[in-house]
Structure 1
Amino acid sequence: MIHVSLVAIPEAVVSTLSGIFDVMNAFAILPLRHGDGPPLPPPFNVEIVGEKAGPLTLASKVPVSVQRSIDTLERTDIVIVPSILLGPEGWRTGSHPELVEWFKAMHRRGALLCSACSGIFLLAETGLFDGVDATVHFGYARSFAQTHPQVPIHPERVLVVSGRREELITSGASMTWHDLVLYLIGRHASATAAQEVARSFALQWHQDGLAPYIVFEGRKDHGDAAVERAQNWVATHFSVVNPLEEMVKLTGLAERTFKRRFTVAAGLSPIAYVQRLRIEDAKRRLERTEASIDEISWQAGYEDPAFFRRLFKRVTGMTPGGYRKRFRIPDYALPPRKR
Structure 2
Amino acid sequence: MSRDAKQTGSATLRVCLIALPDAVISTLAGIYDVMNGLSMIGIASPGTEPPFKVEIVGERAGPLRLASGVPIEVQRSIDEIAACDILIVPSVLLKPGGWEPGRYPRMIDWVKRVHDGGARLCSACLGIFLLAETGLFDGRDATVHFGYASQFAACYPAIPIHPERVLVISGTREDLVSSGASNTWHDMVLYLIAYHVGATVAQEVARMFALQWHQDGLTPYIIFEGRKDHGDAEIQNAQEWLSTHFSVASPVEEMIRRSKLAERTFKRRFADATGIAPLSYVQRLRIEDAKRRLERTDSPVDEISWRVGYEDAAFFRRLFKRTTGMTPGAYRRRFQIPEFARR
Question: Which TM-score band applies after superposition, normalised by the shorter structure?
Answer: over 0.9
Q: Which position in structure 2 is the counterpart of 1:291?
A: 299
What is the correspondence of 1:224-303 to structure 2 with a 5 Å cutoff?
Answer: 224-303=232-311
Unaligned runs of 5+ in 2: 1-11
For residues 17 and 96 of structure 2, the distance between their equivalents in structure 1, rounded to whole angstroms, comes to 26
Residue 133 of structure 2 aligns to a residue in which SS?
Answer: helix
**Aligned match for 1:15, one of 15, 20, 26:** 26
For residues 81 and 255 of structure 1, the distance between their equivalents in structure 2, rounded to whole angstroms, comes to 50
Unaligned runs of 5+ in 1: none
Shift, 1:224, TM fit? 1.4
AA aligned opposite 1:187:
Y
Q: Contact 1:13 / 1:85 at 8 angstroms: preserved in 2?
A: yes
Q: Contact 1:159 / 1:171 at 8 angstroms: preserved in 2?
A: yes
1:334 aligns with 2:341: yes
Shift, 1:329, TM fit? 2.1
Q: Percent identity?
A: 66
1:304 aligns with 2:312: yes
Q: Contact 1:55 / 1:63 at 8 angstroms: preserved in 2?
A: yes
Residue 166 of structure 1 aligns to a residue in which SS?
Answer: coil
Q: Which position in structure 2 is the counterpart of 1:80?
A: 88
Q: How many residues align?
A: 332
AA aligned opposite 1:84:
V
Residue 99 of structure 1 aligns to a residue in which SS?
Answer: helix
AA aligned opposite 1:149:
P
For residues 282 and 61 of structure 1, the distance between their equivalents in structure 2, rounded to whole angstroms, comes to 39
**Aligned match for 2:121, one of 113, 118, 126:** 113
For residues 38 and 54 of structure 1, the distance between their equivalents in structure 2, rounded to whole angstroms, comes to 32
1:173 aligns with 2:181: yes
Q: Contact 1:32 / 1:39 at 8 angstroms: preserved in 2?
A: no
**Aligned match for 1:24, one of 35, 38, 45:** 35
AA aligned opposite 1:294:
D
For residues 106 and 258 of structure 1, the distance between their equivalents in structure 2, rounded to whole angstroms, comes to 54
Q: Which position in structure 1 is the counterpart of 2:102?
A: 94
1:61-81 CA distance string (max 9 Å, x none): 100111111111110111100
Q: Which position in structure 2 is the counterpart of 1:135?
A: 143
Q: Which stretches of structure 1, 4 residues or longer, exceed 3 Å deviation after superposition?
A: 37-41
Q: Contact 1:32 / 1:40 at 8 angstroms: preserved in 2?
A: no
1:2 aligns with 2:17: no
AA aligned opposite 2:73:
S
1:274-294 CA distance string (max 9 Å, x none): 110000000000011111100
Shift, 1:41, TM fit? 4.7
**Aligned match for 2:163, one of 155, 160, 184:** 155
Shift, 1:38, TM fit? 4.7
1:145-165 CA distance string (max 9 Å, x none): 111111111111000001111
For residues 260 and 147 of structure 1, the distance between their equivalents in structure 2, rounded to whole angstroms, comes to 29
Shift, 1:270, TM fit? 0.8
For residues 123 and 319 of structure 1, the distance between their equivalents in structure 2, rounded to whole angstroms, comes to 36
Moved more, 109-118 or 257-266: 257-266
Q: Contact 1:27 / 1:41 at 8 angstroms: preserved in 2?
A: no
1:40-91 CA distance string (max 9 Å, x none): 7520010000111111000011001111111111101111000000111111
1:56 aligns with 2:64: yes
AA aligned opposite 1:10:
P
**Does the C-alpha gap of structure 1 residues 40 and 305 become closer, same or farther in structure 2, counting only changes over 3 Å?**
farther
Shift, 1:195, TM fit? 1.1
Shift, 1:138, TM fit? 0.8
For residues 198 and 39 of structure 1, the distance between their equivalents in structure 2, rounded to whole angstroms, comes to 23
**Does the C-alpha gap of structure 1 residues 230 and 334 become closer, same or farther in structure 2, counting only changes over 3 Å?**
same
Q: Which position in structure 1 is the counterpart of 2:76?
A: 68
Q: Which position in structure 1 is the counterpart of 2:9?
A: none
AA aligned opposite 1:334:
A
AA aligned opposite 2:333:
K
1:187-207 CA distance string (max 9 Å, x none): 111111111111110111000
AA aligned opposite 1:22:
D
For residues 79 and 227 of structure 1, the distance between their equivalents in structure 2, rounded to whole angstroms, comes to 47
Shift, 1:173, TM fit? 0.5
Give me the TM-score of the superposition, normalised by structure 1: 0.95
1:290-336 CA distance string (max 9 Å, x none): 111001001111111111001100111100000011111234x437x
Shift, 1:9, TM fit? 0.4
Measured on the aligned residues, the alpha-carbon RMSD in Å equals: 1.4
Give me the TM-score of the superposition, normalised by structure 2: 0.94
Shift, 1:24, TM fit? 0.3
